[in-house]
Structure 1
Amino acid sequence: MAMDNRSFFSGVLICVLLNFASSVEAAPTGSLITELPGFNGVFPSNHHSGYITFDEKNLFYYFIVSERNPSKDPVVLWLNGGPGCSSFDGFVYEHGPFNFEEGKPNGSLPILHLNPYSWSKVSNIIYLDSPCGVGMSYSKNQSKYINDDLQTAADTHNFLLKWFQLYPEFVNNPFYIAGESYAGIYVPTLSAEVVKGIKAAQNPIINFKGYLIGNGVSHTKFEGLAALVPFAHGMGLVSDDMFEEVERACKGNYQNLIGSCSISIDKIDQALSGLNIYGILDPCYHDPTSDHHTERNTSSNLPISFQQLGATERPLKVRKRMFGRAWPLWAFEKHGNFPSWPELALQGSVPCVNDEVATAWLNDESVRKSIHAEPKSIAGPWEICSDRIDYRYGAGSMLPYHRNLTTQGYRALIYSGDHDMCVPFTGTQAWTRSLGYKIIDEWRSWVSNHQVAGYLQGYANNLTFLTIKV
């Protein structure tokens, strides 16, 4: 018997609607963000956020659906470094969906404007506060704040498995892991865990394609002072005489700074004093509570005009801080433990710091309610870099990780802002070259908007080293 036309088309319509609902509305109930204090526009795509809980750990994420083609665009996990710095650093100050204008008066909620260069223009992106104890992530069991490289990788992999279970419509999308600074450790170790899970057929099967690391540490002989000294010399920050003196005194060994080597390094340190080590061309914020900008100010050896660099009348102020990006120059790990960022700040080791905008916004209870984060009474106040985690390194050099991943066919983009002095491109260029891969795309410029934007060198095994003119 022929089906009634209306019934047939109704059935088709129901199937279409059900399929649409399963592909678009599969997100967990209550995760959708409907408004954000400080923003009065319309979201270009859906925003979701919340906690994923396991082993007494509550890991907080903020997820932005791609503004282009969510069903086909890659899913990207973003991790800031530290260790111990919140990925809201990337969200607020780098490539998130909004630009933040300082609130008036000082300390009030900032005003949010859409960011035309957000990574969500072309990808579905997850900002994750990791490890537990960082940013909005928390535990009621204080022992869960003890972390190391391998535990962090295992926990983040566990997070991903549970996240894709909550958002199954994205499980077939290409998946990439990205991060900067100490995420030079987070990203390869997590990638290795993901690959191990794929081989063990852990469900859901993640469609992992590769990873991106910006100005990332590698736990190799190529970084630290071994990268900084030639960088500072090449950039014209120290003289030929000073460079040659350090070369003679240290003989390339910067692990034990003793005798004439220590004296020569102190001279380098003095020459670089006052620079923004995370971007030598960028202005350096000076804390107004310690630098009063008076003619008799003795708390800084910089001229008053230099102390006020970064002041501007522009409605959207220039970024004046790079706190969450990279580990300070002289903070070498001791006995397997890292000093916390607040400990370093007390020692005067963290220059150019101003996180007022992010702190004001993320510690406002109306904002926390909007993004489904627990109040400060439960999750604690948000800090750009946490003082409550006890972090121990232990994964060793990242070179075996990179070799293992790239020779299995996973893509790797290792990029460096070419004016970052904390994790300089000189060290990153050296360790990528040390892998010994055949050069298949010899050193050349790459172009954006008809301008040279940086340089790259492509290697076999899908490895690319790239610099960015910033």
Structure 2
Amino acid sequence: MLSSLFIANEAAPETNLITKLPGFSNGSFPSKHYGGYITIAGIGNTGKNLFYYFVESERHPENDPVVLWLNGGPGCSSFDGFVYEHGPFNFEEGKPKGSLPILHLNPYSWSKVSNVIYLDSPAGVGLSFSKDPRNYETGDLQTASDTHTFLVKWFEQFPEFLSNPFYISGESYAGIYVPTLASQVAKGIKDGTKPIINFKGYMVGNGVADRKFDGNALVPFAHGMGLISDSIYEEVEAACEGNYYYAQSDICYQKLERVDQAIDGLNIYNILEPCYHRPITEEKANNYKQNTSIPASFQQLGKTEKPLPVRTRMFGRAWPYRAPVEVGIVTLWPQLAAKSVSGVSVPCFNDEIATRWLNDKAVREAIHAEPESVAGAWDLCTSRIHYNHSGGSMIPYHLNLTMQGYRALIFSGDHDMCVPFTGSEAWTRSLGYKIVDEWRNWISNGDVAGYLQEYDHNLTFLTIKGAGHTVPEYKPQEALHFYSRWLQGLRI
């Protein structure tokens, strides 16, 4: 049996109203917040319990768009976006160190101009759970179906938002989540599934799309960014004949090794930023030095604990940078970390602020989430699901959706080496749509903030200058600018 708290969360939305949050003491929230579970069918009697945190717009919630936000992984929590990217709060390290973080209002929250649903999906991710572990076996198509069912039930609980324009958004592996879910929603509308959702379009940031385009994106990116020389690029081009993601010959593989050596040591999620390395014991650091060659700065990890950045943690939600995601079971981030020689988890990330806050008993009570004894510990990216990449290329999905008239914004931080903008630019161009606004810069706060190209069928490709894999984390003001103008249908 689930706790009485969980049962209460299935009642009217007002019982899910969040009135206070540990760490926030600056008066009342600028808009209403809700949190809780919606249960959908699964294997066994308990089903899948999907957790959401809903932030009403600070402007005109009755008219502003409703936007669903999904982080990727697969297996990563959408509280990543809530805590580190575009949520209603900025999180400051608590004092003394190790205490709960201090929350401040975020001036660039996406709730300034829209209603936002942060959803932990699929079941087993973040605060979402099932009492039957068989429900943790899922994949692209099952996740899309489950999330569509969630949306139908969510709008039944919040019918006042049914007439609002609805958009689906996400980043990284959500490049799979978003178009597959959008297709389910579009099909539901055609089939007359009630309630009818007022679906208008979708956004994908630095997103997975197609193994060929994604896999071939790195080498041109590295060359264009000056990370490899002209001679290395020319040698790789000649040896691999443009096919970099799967070496067809030994000579191609050897030339790709030169690329790997050149970019080794960079933060793959933002080549402009340093890597955060989780502190380890001196014994582990010495063991690591004996087993592999690492920079001297990294060898000091066991002796000196580096500061813990809050808005500057760099944790990717994708796969190692040279190979695209393959069809079949996807290796999750914690599983990759377990295989590392160092045992220091995936490099370049620090999620301690979010982990500390979301595993606090008082925080879970405040947001109407189940305690650890029921839902398990919150992890940024989980290892408890078994995920099958079954959706294939997303290009047919994008073609189908845009041909139906749904708006699409494909945006990329132009310094992300994990899902480089070169791949996203290439596949959007490959759709063959007529260009209606030729490549140009776009301006935010008086400065060039990036570049864009618009196509017919309401498709826009946009870059954000200097941003990494998680765009709003690196460029929050610019992100709010293009987000708000695109939602309003205005020229960016």
Same fold (TM over 0.5): yes
Out of 233, 237, 241, which is 1:243 matched to?
Answer: 233
The 8 Å contact of residues 358 and 378 in structure 2, kept in 1 or not, is answered as yes
Aligned to 1:46: 32
- One-letter amino acid matched to 1:342: P
The 8 Å contact of residues 127 and 376 in structure 2, kept in 1 or not, is answered as yes
Is 1:71 matched with 2:66? no
Determine the C-alpha separation between the residues in 2 that align with 1:329 and 1:455. 24
- One-letter amino acid matched to 2:23: G
The 8 Å contact of residues 18 and 32 in structure 2, kept in 1 or not, is answered as yes
- One-letter amino acid matched to 1:47: H
Is 1:204 matched with 2:199? no
Out of 436, 443, 450, which is 1:447 matched to?
Answer: 443
The correspondence of residues 39-188 of structure 1 with structure 2, limited to 5 A, is 39-41=24-26, 42-55=28-41, 56-188=47-179
Aligned to 1:234: 224
Aligned to 1:339: 331
Q: 1:195/1:244 Cα in 2 relative to 1: closer, same or farther (>3 Å)?
A: same
Q: 1:295/1:59 Cα in 2 relative to 1: closer, same or farther (>3 Å)?
A: closer
Q: Quote how far apart the aligned CAs of 1:312 are.
A: 7.0
Aligned to 1:36: 21
Q: 1:67/1:266 Cα in 2 relative to 1: closer, same or farther (>3 Å)?
A: same
Out of 296, 315, 319, which is 1:327 matched to?
Answer: 319
Q: Quote how far apart the aligned CAs of 1:254 are.
A: 3.0
Deviations 1:288-308 (CA, angstroms, capped at 9, x unpaired): 216899999947633539989
Determine the C-alpha separation between the residues in 1 that align with 2:99 and 2:459. 45
The 8 Å contact of residues 293 and 307 in structure 1, kept in 2 or not, is answered as no
Aligned to 1:304: 297
Determine the C-alpha separation between the residues in 2 that align with 1:68 and 1:137. 29
TM superposition score normalised by structure 2: 0.85
Out of 244, 256, 267, which is 1:254 matched to?
Answer: 244
The SS at the match of 1:409 is coil
Out of 456, 464, 467, which is 2:463 matched to?
Answer: 467
Determine the C-alpha separation between the residues in 1 that align with 2:453 and 2:267. 27
**Larger deviation, residues 291-300 vs 124-133:** 291-300
Out of 331, 345, 349, which is 1:353 matched to?
Answer: 349
- One-letter amino acid matched to 1:265: L
The correspondence of residues 18-33 of structure 1 with structure 2, limited to 5 A, is 28-33=13-18
Q: Quote how far apart the aligned CAs of 1:368 are.
A: 0.7
The 8 Å contact of residues 407 and 459 in structure 2, kept in 1 or not, is answered as yes
The 8 Å contact of residues 139 and 389 in structure 2, kept in 1 or not, is answered as yes
Q: 1:339/1:437 Cα in 2 relative to 1: closer, same or farther (>3 Å)?
A: same
**Larger deviation, residues 289-298 vs 140-149:** 289-298
Deviations 1:261-313 (CA, angstroms, capped at 9, x unpaired): 22222221121111110111122101221689999994763353998999679
Q: 1:187/1:334 Cα in 2 relative to 1: closer, same or farther (>3 Å)?
A: closer
Aligned to 1:217: 208
Determine the C-alpha separation between the residues in 2 that align with 1:255 and 1:351. 22
- One-letter amino acid matched to 1:251: E
Determine the C-alpha separation between the residues in 2 that align with 1:366 and 1:197. 38
Who wins on radius of gyration, i.e. which is larger? 1
The 8 Å contact of residues 320 and 353 in structure 1, kept in 2 or not, is answered as yes
Determine the C-alpha separation between the residues in 2 that align with 1:300 and 1:373. 44
The 8 Å contact of residues 285 and 307 in structure 1, kept in 2 or not, is answered as no
Q: Quote how far apart the aligned CAs of 1:319 are.
A: 1.0
Aligned to 2:412: 416
Aligned to 1:10: none
Aligned to 1:9: none
Determine the C-alpha separation between the residues in 1 that align with 2:75 and 2:427. 25
The 8 Å contact of residues 418 and 468 in structure 1, kept in 2 or not, is answered as yes
The 8 Å contact of residues 291 and 300 in structure 1, kept in 2 or not, is answered as no
- One-letter amino acid matched to 1:43: F
Deviations 1:95-124 (CA, angstroms, capped at 9, x unpaired): 001111112333321111110000000000
Deviations 1:412-440 (CA, angstroms, capped at 9, x unpaired): 00000000111000000000000000000
The 8 Å contact of residues 285 and 310 in structure 1, kept in 2 or not, is answered as no
The 8 Å contact of residues 150 and 189 in structure 1, kept in 2 or not, is answered as yes
Q: 1:106/1:71 Cα in 2 relative to 1: closer, same or farther (>3 Å)?
A: same
Aligned to 1:392: 388
Deviations 1:225-254 (CA, angstroms, capped at 9, x unpaired): x10001011101111121122112222223
Aligned to 2:425: 429
The 8 Å contact of residues 310 and 318 in structure 1, kept in 2 or not, is answered as no
The SS at the match of 1:35 is coil
Determine the C-alpha separation between the residues in 2 that align with 1:307 and 1:241. 35
Determine the C-alpha separation between the residues in 1 that align with 2:71 and 2:242. 30
Q: 1:256/1:453 Cα in 2 relative to 1: closer, same or farther (>3 Å)?
A: closer
Measured on the aligned residues, the alpha-carbon RMSD in Å equals 2.4
Percent of aligned positions with the same letter in both sequences? 64
- One-letter amino acid matched to 2:18: I
Aligned length: 441
Q: Quote how far apart the aligned CAs of 1:328 are.
A: 2.6
TM superposition score normalised by structure 1: 0.89
Q: 1:205/1:262 Cα in 2 relative to 1: closer, same or farther (>3 Å)?
A: same
Q: Quote how far apart the aligned CAs of 1:346 are.
A: 2.1
Structure 1, unmatched stretches of 5+, are 1-25
- One-letter amino acid matched to 2:232: M
The SS at the match of 2:427 is helix
Determine the C-alpha separation between the residues in 2 that align with 1:283 and 1:269. 18
The SS at the match of 1:30 is helix
Q: Quote how far apart the aligned CAs of 1:30 are.
A: 1.6
The 8 Å contact of residues 295 and 304 in structure 1, kept in 2 or not, is answered as no
- One-letter amino acid matched to 1:238: I
